[in-house]
Structure 1
Amino acid sequence: MIPITVIAACATVAAVPLRADTGQTIPEAMIEEMISLSGTITYLEGDAPGLILGAIKGDTVVVEGFGETARGNGITPDGDTVFRIGSITKVFAGEMLAHAVARGEVAFTDPVAPLLADPLGAAAAQHPDIRLIDLATHSGGLPREVPRAESPDSDPFQTITPDAFADWLQGNALQFAPGRGSAYSNFGFDLLSAALSTAGGASYPDLLADRITRPLALDDTTFTPTAGMAERQMIGHAPDGEALPIVPTGAVITGSGGLYSTANDLLRWMRWHLDETGPDAQVRLLDHAVYLPRDGLETVVSMDESGRMDAMGLGWVAMNATAESPFYLQKSGALQGQMSYIAFAPQYDAAVLITMNQYDFGAAAGMTEAANALLRTLSGY
C-alpha cells in the first residue's frame, strides 16, 4: 500500500520520490501543492460530500482527500477509501481482452457469438458478426442498456440477465453495422466479459484476479467487497443530497461496471500502465493502441462526455495531442451516486484520478476539466 501521511484536518497525502522521465523536473512538494489547490477548488465548487484527487508524475504518487465519505459522518476520504468505479470497469475489461489476445486465446476480429452460451450465443449469431474489437470500442451496434423487466429498488440490476440480452438480440436489428459507428454500450461490454470468460476457461472475476489484480497487489479492487472494505466505503448520494443504498450489481455486470476500488489501487494500476519496460509489455502495447478513429464513422453517440473522442482504444477514449494538450487516454464512470474519472499520458509518465460521491453532472464536468488541466500541467503543457 502507498503510505498515507496526514497533512491537514481536511486532507491526506501520499508521496514517494520523483523520477522525471520527460526531462521536466517537478519537485514533489509542488505536485502536492497542485493536488491540494486543484482538489480544494473542485471540492468547494461542487456540492458532493467528499472528493478524492490523485496523480502520478514519474515515481511521485500523491493522493489527497476532501470532505467526508458520507454526508455528516466526519470521516475524511483518503487513498484507502473504497468506492465504486462504475464504467471505469470497462477499461479493465479492455485490458482483459489485451491479455487474452497476448495469450492467443482470442483474436480481436473473432466474432463474439461462438463464445457465448446458448441461447445468447444463438441469438447473437442471427446478426452480422459482432467482433470482440467492436464490443471493446462501443462499435457493435448494440443499445446502451439491455431492455429488461423492472427490478426491485433493493436490487436494481437483478433483471440484467443473459436471457434479457438474448431476448433483445432475437427480436431487434442492430442499430448500425458493426464497426461503422460508435455508441456507448454497457450491453456490449457485458457480452465482452462473458466471451472472455469462455475463452479463458474460468469465471470472469477469477480471470481478472489472476491476470490483473493479484499480480499488481490490487487488494481492494474486486466485484465483492470484504467486510473490512465495507467499513472504508464511500457512500454515493443522489442529486438532492440523499445517501443512496449500497446495492449489488450481480454476476452479469462484470464488463460494463461493478468493480470497487481505491485511489491507491487505481494509481498502482496506472503505474503498471506507465511502465514501458516491466512485465506484460505486449499487453500494454495492445491496450494503449487506437483501433477505431472517429473520422469516417457513420454515427457517434454519447462518447464525448469527458472530452471529445478522437478515437477509441480498448474501452479507453483517445484524445489527440494539440498545442495545449498531450495525447492521452481517459475514461469516466458513475454508479449509485459515485462519479469518477481517470486519464493518463503515457509518453509523459503522468496520470490523474478524481472521484466524488454525489450525482452532479455539472460538478462532474468541472471535475474532469480540473483533472485534465492537472494532467496537462504534469505533462509540461
Structure 2
Amino acid sequence: MSRLFRCVVLAALLLFGVSGCTAGAGDAVVSGETSAERAVIDEFRTVAEDLGTVGAFLLVRTSDGAYSSAYGENEDGTGVEPTGDTVFRIGSNTKTFTGTVLLQLVDEGLIALDDPVSDYWDDVPHGDAITIEMLLNMRSGLYSYTESEEWAEASLEDTGRVWEPEELLRIAFEHEPHSEPGESYYYSNTNTVLLGAIAERLTGRSLEDLFAERLFEPLGLASTRLPVADDVSLAEPYAHGYVILEGEERVDSTFFNPSWGWAAGAAVSTAEELADWAEALTSSGLLSEGLQERRLDSVLPISEDAAQEGWGYGLGIAEVAGLLGHTGQLPGYNSFMGSDPTTGVTVVIWANFAPTADGRDPANAIADAVVPLIRQED
C-alpha cells in the first residue's frame, strides 16, 4: 500500500476513537493565568510539538471563565497564529448536527426512533431490521463506504471529485454488512449519510438549509456551515490542512473536496463556535426535555478499554475523554469538542496536520493529555 493511499485513507475514514515533518512551536498565544491553567497550556504545547503539527489551538471554558492557547501557524511558513475565530474543517463533528436534526424530526412526529429504515429508504441491507435509533448510535452494522477500495481509489485519483450521497450509499449497500443489526458498535459513515438523506426526503429541504435554519442561525453560529458539494472555499481567517504523501512529503490538503463526508463530515466551523455548539448540544433548547434526556442517557462504551478511558457513543453524540461531544478528522484536519453540562467544562482542540507522520490523530492525542488536567481544576 502506497504512503499516499495509507495517509489519505486513514485520515478520510473519520474514525471515532483514540487513536516526518515537524513544525516549530513559534510563540504560543497564551491566555491562561492560574498555575493550573498554565499547566494545561504547557502540556498542550509539549504534546503539539511532539506530534509535529503545523498548528493547533486549545480553547477551555469552565465555570470560572475561559482560556486558550495557540501553537504554530494557520499556514506553514506565514507566522500567522491560530485563534478562536480561525475557520477549519471539522470532520465527524458534523455528525452531531445531523443527529440533532433527526431528533428534532422525531420531536415533530415525522419519524420515530424505532421505525425501520426500510420505511424511508429502499435497498438498505437488513433495512426491515435496522431502526433509525441504530443508525444514530452506530449499531446498524451497515458497511462503511469509507472502507471501500472503490471509494478510496476514486478519492485518491481525484481529490476534487464531487460526491453525491446516493453514490456513497450505493457503494456501502453493495457490500455485506459488518454485523447483524443491533449486535454491536461499529462506526460507519454510511449511517449518518443515510440519516442526512432521510432528513432531506422527510422535509423537502437540503441538509445545508436544515442545518442553517434549525441550528446555526438560532444559535448565532455565523462561521459554521455545511457547504454545498462543489464548494471547497473557506472564509478568512482559515487554517490550511496538511497530510503526508509519498516520499514523506507534506502537502496542502486544504481544498481537497470533502463532499464524500457530507452529513457525516463536511462542515466547517471555528473553535469558539464549536464550543458554543458543544454547550448547546449537551443542554436544553434544541430538543424536547424528554428526548434530550434520552439522548444524553444513550451513550454506551464502544469497548471495555474505551469505557475506562471515557469514550462512548449514543444518539448522534459521543463521550470523548469523559466529555460529551464528538471528534472529527479529514485529510489535514483533526478536531475534538466536548462539554460537561454538570461542571460547566467545555474543551475544543484542533490541529492542521492529520494524521501525523507517525499516524496519530493530533487533537485526540492532545485531548487525552490535557482533559484530565482540565477536569482536575473543577
Task: Note whether the superposition's TM-score is higher than 0.5.
Answer: yes
**Aligned ranges for residues 51-200 of structure 1 at < 5 Å?**
51-58=56-63, 60-115=65-120, 121-124=121-124, 127-145=127-145, 147=148, 148=150, 150-151=154-155, 153-159=157-163, 161-166=165-170, 168-169=172-173, 171-200=174-203
1:212 CA displacement: 1.1
Residue in 2 aligned with 1:24? none
Which one scores higher on RCO, CA 8 angstroms, separation ≥ 6? Answer: 2
CA distance in 2, matches of 1:62, 1:173: 47
CA distance in 2, matches of 1:366, 1:166: 32
Percent identity between the aligned chains?
Answer: 24
CA distance in 2, matches of 1:71, 1:35: 25
Distance 1:165 1:367, change over 3 A: closer
> In structure 2, the residue corresponding to 1:180 is in which secondary structure?
coil
Residue in 2 aligned with 1:242? 251
1:30 CA displacement: 4.9
CA distance in 2, matches of 1:291, 1:33: 32
**Aligned ranges for residues 262-273 of structure 1 at < 5 Å?**
262-273=270-281
1:310 CA displacement: 6.1
Distance 1:367 1:231, change over 3 A: closer
1:339 CA displacement: 1.1
CA distance in 2, matches of 1:367, 1:352: 11
User: Is 1:350 aligned to residue 345 of structure 2?
Assistant: yes
2:189–2:264 CA contact under 8 A, matched in 1: yes
1:230 CA displacement: 3.0
Bigger mean CA offset, 135-144 vs 354-363: 354-363
Distance 1:167 1:71, change over 3 A: closer
Which of the pair is proportionally richer in helix? 2
User: Is 1:340 aligned to residue 340 of structure 2?
Assistant: no
Q: What do the CA deviations read for 1:247-299 (whole angstroms, capped 9, x no partner)?
A: 2233x6332110011001101112324545x564625434322155658xxxx
1:356 CA displacement: 0.8
Q: What do the CA deviations read for 1:6-39 (whole angstroms, capped 9, x no partner)?
A: xxx8344679xxxxxxxxxxxx645642443232
Distance 1:55 1:45, change over 3 A: same
2:103–2:287 CA contact under 8 A, matched in 1: no
2:354–2:361 CA contact under 8 A, matched in 1: no
CA distance in 1, matches of 2:112, 2:261: 23
2:60–2:347 CA contact under 8 A, matched in 1: yes
Q: What do the CA deviations read for 1:147-167 (whole angstroms, capped 9, x no partner)?
A: 446247554553554145236
CA distance in 1, matches of 2:253, 2:167: 28
Q: What code does the residue aligned with 1:85 have?
A: I
CA distance in 2, matches of 1:365, 1:155: 21
Q: What do the CA deviations read for 1:134-176 (whole angstroms, capped 9, x no partner)?
A: 111111111222544624755455355414523652x444222
> In structure 2, the residue corresponding to 1:235 is in which secondary structure?
coil
Residue in 1 aligned with 2:372? 376
Q: What code does the residue aligned with 2:372 have?
A: R
1:318 CA displacement: 3.3
2:327–2:335 CA contact under 8 A, matched in 1: yes
1:68–1:77 CA contact under 8 A, matched in 2: yes
Query: RMSD in angstroms over aligned alpha carbons?
Result: 3.4
> How does the TM-score come out when normalised to structure 1?
0.77
1:84 CA displacement: 0.5
> In structure 1, the residue corresponding to 2:57 is in which secondary structure?
strand
**Aligned ranges for residues 32-51 of structure 1 at < 5 Å?**
32-51=37-56
Residue in 2 aligned with 1:255? 263
CA distance in 2, matches of 1:134, 1:11: 43
1:145–1:186 CA contact under 8 A, matched in 2: yes
Could you tell me which runs of 5 or more consecutive residues in structure 1 were left unpaired when the two chains were aligned: 1-8, 16-27, 116-120, 320-324
Bigger mean CA offset, 260-269 vs 338-347: 338-347
1:127–1:174 CA contact under 8 A, matched in 2: no
CA distance in 2, matches of 1:154, 1:167: 17
CA distance in 2, matches of 1:365, 1:227: 23
Distance 1:152 1:372, change over 3 A: closer
Distance 1:74 1:342, change over 3 A: same
CA distance in 2, matches of 1:211, 1:179: 30
CA distance in 2, matches of 1:307, 1:246: 38
1:339–1:364 CA contact under 8 A, matched in 2: no
CA distance in 1, matches of 2:30, 2:203: 39
Distance 1:183 1:351, change over 3 A: same
2:62–2:345 CA contact under 8 A, matched in 1: yes
1:312 CA displacement: 2.2
Q: What code does the residue aligned with 1:52 have?
A: F
2:353–2:362 CA contact under 8 A, matched in 1: no
CA distance in 2, matches of 1:331, 1:360: 17
2:279–2:339 CA contact under 8 A, matched in 1: no
